[in-house]
């Protein structure tokens, strides 16, 4: 009769112990490192802020509509993984967003002026602006185009003193909502507050 190895004072059968592989620290360490790398890779594919504009600087256009309203267009050069949905652009101290639009063009398509052939016209928040769709709108990785923002500037002093770069709220392909910083030229300060 064999003794139960789980009972205190019992001895294990050497033949049974030979069937159980000895724990190897090296195997456990390699498995742990691979699991950590896999988790880091999964996080990296969705967590970083998708790039909306060129790394080496951004281009844009601005049009002062008068009465403190400024229309700013920023050239988009999407980078990152998968499509994103641009939800909105957040207000900055001294100015609030009246409307925002996305004119997405494939990377290999030539882009026209952000404001169209006849100028920007009178943008209506929530309605299309030329070929641009009102936010929220979808942007594919590798796409170009324009992000157009209609600002209402109510305090140039605060806008210039605080000088906060605008931020776009973006939902990634994984459903994570993040803030993507926009270049300083997306701010309405240069056009609305030039004389301040």
C-alpha distances in Å from residue 111, one per residue of 77, 116, 169, 185? 12, 10, 24, 19
44 and 122 Cβ atoms separated by less than 8 Å: no
**What does the alpha-carbon distance between residue 69 and residue 149 come to, in Å, rounded to a whole number?**
10
Q: Report pLDDT for 149.
A: 92
> What integer is the mean pLDDT of 166-172?
89
Q: Report pLDDT for 47.
A: 46
Token pair recorded at residue 67: 């009465």
pLDDT at 3 over 60: no
* Tens digit of each residue's pLDDT (9 = 90 or more) over 116-165: 555 556 677 777 777 778 899 888 777 778 888 999 999 989 988 888 88
pTM here?
A: 0.68
**Higher pLDDT, residue 88 or 104:** 88
63 and 120 Cβ atoms separated by less than 8 Å: yes
* Tens digit of each residue's pLDDT (9 = 90 or more) over 7-31: 555 566 777 666 766 667 777 788 8
**What does the alpha-carbon distance between residue 57 and residue 51 come to, in Å, rounded to a whole number?**
12
């Amino acid at each position: 009769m064999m003794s139960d190895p789980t009972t205190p004072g019992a001895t294990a059968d050497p033949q049974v112990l030979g069937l159980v592989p000895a724990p190897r620290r090296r195997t456990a360490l390699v498995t742990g490192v691979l699991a950590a790398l896999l988790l880091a890779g999964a996080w990296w594919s969705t967590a970083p802020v998708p790039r909306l504009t060129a790394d080496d600087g951004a281009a844009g256009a601005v049009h002062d509509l008068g009465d403190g309203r400024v229309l700013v267009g920023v050239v988009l050069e999407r980078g990152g993984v998968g499509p994103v949905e641009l939800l909105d652009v957040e207000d900055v101290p001294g100015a609030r967003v009246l409307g925002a639009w996305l004119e997405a063009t494939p990377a290999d398509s030539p882009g026209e002026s952000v404001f169209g052939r006849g100028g920007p016209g009178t943008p209506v928040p929530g309605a299309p602006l030329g070929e641009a769709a009102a936010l929220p709108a979808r942007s594919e990785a590798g796409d170009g185009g324009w992000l157009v923002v209609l600002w209402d500037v109510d305090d140039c002093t605060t806008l210039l003193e605080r000088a906060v770069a605008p931020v776009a709220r973006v939902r990634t392909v994984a459903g994570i909502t993040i803030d993507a910083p926009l270049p300083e030229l997306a701010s309405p300060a240069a056009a609305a507050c030039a004389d301040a």
